[in-house]
A and B are shown apart, each in its own frame.
Chain A
Amino acid sequence: MANEPLSDYTANSTTTNVSSAPEPQTPASLDVKVEIQKYGLAKPKRIVIRGKVSHGGD
């Protein structure tokens, strides 16, 4: 649906009888950026985990 041309929507809207309503403002083109996640962009990181050792009865 998102890829349908805008002109189709405009054509459909003209078939309705809402003449007094202002024409909806439609952008000339859809400014949608689809970002494809790329693997391997990041750098290796060091992680340190610390925890208290439990001896059960403590």
Chain B
Amino acid sequence: MVEIRTQRISRVVQGDIIRDVEQIECVTLRAGIVEVQKIAFPLVVVLTQDCDLEQDFRFRWARAKKPSTHDKYLLSVLVAPLYNAEHVFTGEHLSELGLKMQAINRKTTEGRYLVQNERLRYHFLDFPGTVPVVPSIVDFKHYFSANVEALKKQKREKFVCRLSELFREDLSVRFAGYLSRIGLPD
């Protein structure tokens, strides 16, 4: 079970869990009609390094002395969706997007390894009873970026909780490990 913090800090913090975050898939303009296609995710977790987020916040919102450059500004914040673990086990977590994923029987070795965070692709998060979040799974193949200022604004109303330092480091290191894996030919 993960440890969490419930106190909301105004800046975006690594490990923040925020609800109702949208990923813009594409924007098209055809014959005078603009079409915006997006995916609304019930929950996401922030993956961007916290020192980068902290510097961005300090430089972007500095009141006393504005820095001479925008060197520390981030262009976006990396987030990953949290999927309802029960939906992941049945392979139905993306059914409303028209996608069928592989089912994972949680009683088999494969499922047990996932829950113990021994499967590289997934990160299982079981929340304490004090936080109303269902057991969730991050799929490291799924991530997207969100606008820094928009996410900070959204956090005011949509902040759920934040993973404690140790547990966010665990998530971050496992994500980085998965992203930097070397795919060798079969």
Nearest chain A CB to B31's CB is how many angstroms away?
A: 9
Contact with B along A20-58 (1 / 0, CB 8 A): 000000000000000011111111111111111100000
Give Cα A37 to B42, complex, Å.
13
Nearest chain B CB to A45's CB is how many angstroms away?
A: 5
Q: Chain A residues near B119 (CB, 8 Å)?
A: none
Given A36-B132, A39-B133, A43-B93, A53-B42 contact (CB < 8 Å): no
Task: Name the one of A43, A49, A50, A52 contacting B87, with C-beta atoms under 8 angstroms.
Answer: A43
Given A38-B134, A39-B42, A41-B84, A53-B94 contact (CB < 8 Å): no
> Do residues B39 and A47 form an inter-chain contact, with CB atoms below 8 A?
yes
> Do residues B40 and A47 form an inter-chain contact, with CB atoms below 8 A?
yes
Indicate the size class of the contact surface on chain A: 10 to 19
> Do residues A52 and B42 form an inter-chain contact, with CB atoms below 8 A?
no
Contact with A along B42-83 (1 / 0, CB 8 A): 110000000000000000000000000000000000000111
Given contacts A40-B42, A45-B97, A51-B33, 4 further A-B contacts (CB under 8 A): A40-B133, A47-B37, A50-B36, A52-B34
Q: Which residues of A contact B (CB under 8 A)?
A: 36-53
Q: Which residues of B contact A (CB under 8 A)?
A: 19, 22, 25, 29, 32-43, 81-84, 87, 92-97, 132-134, 136, 160
